[in-house]
Structure 1
């Protein structure tokens, strides 16, 4: 089983409008609400692939009730840790005219020390093949919170800033920053150099999201670049979570890096074509998997 952890759960609200224009009144073509947060999205992708996955997340207030109801309706295996604060909402506005995506992320409610310890207890009771910790730490969470959850487990960490740097003490098997997050964390523009700095600090491997450019993987076994066969237009908000789902699945199956990266890029593209974060176009995923190019440095074999 793969277990995902989402300390800063959200109710994702997505509006589709004809065109997003500043200082104007908009009428939504469509409004959709579903449980979200990065770890929940990862679990949703794995569930779509018929992988045994369990989501652990926080929930509070009326919004937390809505999150619980939607997770149940979606058929996701989940346990929600109660908190006193109101679960946050994230708002996505999709512009139909140009395909642009605008996100507004609330910071989330303050989590007390007792609530964080309860979350940690729920996580430590599980013995997954792979543990995934994703997203921002909510206000009030200890800076070393992820490190304590990850310690001694095969794990994937997907976060940024101080939470990423502190989480390296838990020695995650893989961390997955995007290029901007990696530069911010290390101060280096050279992404391979920056990735190796994270590895020296505790990461087993670093997989960097390059947006439409695919992925860069820096690992003890070698360095690879994985690129999609072509550009896609759609909603990219869940693409990184699909990459994390592929990394966790590959680790659980002990697959070689080129195979993991091909799946990750194909799933990422399938997520761009999905209407909401956590959705994947399975037909695209199965069609594109072997068309992803994975290239190693000259001295490595792919």
Structure 2
């Protein structure tokens, strides 16, 4: 397992190098002069010169590349033009907000998706199965921003059950956090729960038709034991992979959701950086999110290998 983990970490290095090259090239991809775009039409020649110095654009290209990777190896992602603080500091300060919303959404997704998918499989071609199929279809079809706006109108404006936006840290006020995080988390979770429902349903139907399930039932085991001990354990293996992909979608989808609900997370931070042309923040945010998603995929792969001892990947023993 240790060899497999090290192997997966080494495989992530080329991806990080490629993404870092893209992040470095972002500032050169915009049309025209980056300093002019950042400074705007009212910027003076002195302002443009200062912007170029701040971004290192007054240096030769090879010096810029060496400086960029030298800072990167030290964990220095630059300084935000908009906030005036190090990018790493800003990202780390916003991370707990985004992570808390993503974990809340993931818990809701797993509970709803697994439960609905299992119930649908156990009632194949019956009305619970049909309802679950409709739910899954709606879940994979609706955009999360539309669902978020509908939930704000319904639960905040009409019923006044939950606030329309804002964020309260969990450690400061757990109940306040629950009130402010519920609508964003549900907006993200409902759509991904539809996908998890489809995967769980199809996997469970396949498992229930296996010979060992028939044997377990023939031995007189209760249905709860057959489902909980024999079927569900095998259903979880492909579901773990899907959950990893879902969490990646939840993290990436937070940009829109955080903007809608006014949540001060990484998504809102990057959204503001894009709108204000804060290129150091955009570059650092791209690398930060990519590294987080790569680490997440590695954890999912390791968990999948641990769940299924039949898997023998190079170094996985």
| TM range, smaller chain | under 0.3
TM (norm. structure 2) is 0.21
Q: Which has the bigger relative contact order, CA under 8 A and spacing at least 6?
A: 2
Question: Which protein has the bigger strand share?
Answer: 1
